[in-house]
Amino acid sequence: MSVDISLKGQFSKRLLSWYDRQARPLPWRETRDPYKIWVSEVMLQQTQVRTVEAYYGRFIGRFPSVEALARATPDEVMKQWEGLGYCGRARHLHQAAREVVERFGDRLPDTLEDLISLPGIGRYTAGAILSIAFGKPEAVLDGNVIRVLSRIFHVTDDVRKSSTEKALWSLTDSLLPKRRIREYNQALMELGALVCRVRNPACSECPVSRMCEAKRLSIQRELPVKSPRKPVPHYQVTAGVIRRGDRLLITRRPPKGLLGGLWEFPGGKQEPGEKLEDCLKREIREELGINVEVGVHLTSVEHAYTHFRITLHAFECRYRGDRIRLIGADAYRWILPRELDRFALPAADHKIIALLKSRKYGGME
């Protein structure tokens, strides 16, 4: 996939002039602060711009600098991130902020090597920070750019293969113009988001349509080629609403792993042949070293994560007074139902709480 030099000049010229007219006024486009651009890039991974807009301002308001984020507790960070999903991103962002303060004296580094040495920063995020914040000649390759390039340059190999990804990185690198890298990279991503859309590419509005092979061959919708993903597994999971007087027990998940650092009703995944009630008793014993009596089934909710789905079954449980030991959980609290809002919880637990509130269960409102 080599690019002819005259085509390269025309490509960036057309793209930039389109971007100058059409770029959306997004809050993170009003700054060159590397920290703020980093936060926006992390939030935008697998999340829609409209959703990120709501979170970005609040997050930056609460943690206006890398030092402020580094000083925060994991619970404070998780609370601000709650509802945005993929909370491993928040955990990495927080760890990386602490590393920046320790290793680079409060300023985000400005080299690819240093940036990708930080938790949660891969080549794409590093390229975006370096080009957008520092104006350095680094390329980007996200889902939008993959789609645009595959269509224009007629890339018919499976883009999920690492060899194709490597070739696309070389292609995007070779297309970088000499000037206005900051705007050029954003223009390329904006074209994918607004015009060269997944299902419905608006080729008649596209500034580079004359160079597009997929359009010439009328195969826009067939590109990029992606091998099918494996079927998504579906797990049955239990959660115990354990009561002691007017208080409820919540536990915090260990910092690493899925939903790390979030608070939840304790419980876990059903094993083959196990009854839901037995699963819940076993999980609570393994996590907290206590035996509970499992009572009525309260509700069941569905939730989809990136690589699997769950049905979460909530049961009321009676606490028998045993001493709690933190075996599989990181912390626990007995809280009043009205205090639930202060803790960052997974989306599936929020669904349970919403249902319990709608029934005014146990004084919840």
Minimum CB separation from ligand SF4 for residue 152, in Å? 5
Minimum CB separation from ligand SF4 for residue 355, in Å? 44
Dist CA 237 CA 258 (whole Å):
14
Minimum CB separation from ligand SF4 for residue 195, in Å? 5
Dist CA 141 CA 139 (whole Å):
7
127 to 166, contacts with ligand SF4 by CB under 6 A? 148, 151-152
Place of tokens 């590109």: 223
Instruction: List the end-to-end C-alpha distance of the chain, in Å, as a whole number.
Output: 60
Q: How many CB atoms lie within 10 A of CB 157?
A: 15
Q: State yes or no: residue 203 binds ligand SF4 (CB under 6 A).
A: yes
From the list 15-23, 91-99, 207-215, 345-353, the region that binds ligand SF4 by CB under 6 A is 207-215
Q: Of 52, 90, 175, 196, which one interacts with ligand SF4 (CB under 6 A)?
A: 196
Pick between residue 3 and residue 203 the one whose CB is nearest to ligand SF4.
Answer: 203
One-letter amino acid of 365: E
From the list 125-133, 201-209, 301-309, 341-349, the region that binds ligand SF4 by CB under 6 A is 201-209
- Strand ranges for the chain from DSSP E: 234-244, 247-252, 263-264, 267-269, 292-304, 309-319, 331-335
Q: Kindly list the distances between the CA atom of residue 252 and the CA atoms of 59, 87, 266, 267, 324, in Å, as whole numbers in the listed order.
A: 22, 14, 9, 11, 13
Q: Of 96, 212, 262, 288, which one interacts with ligand SF4 (CB under 6 A)?
A: 212
Minimum CB separation from ligand SF4 for residue 108, in Å? 33
Contact 156, 225 (CB under 8 A): yes
Q: State yes or no: residue 209 binds ligand SF4 (CB under 6 A).
A: yes
Q: Which residues bind ligand SF4 (CB under 6 A)?
A: 148, 151-152, 195-196, 201-203, 206, 208-209, 212, 214-215, 220
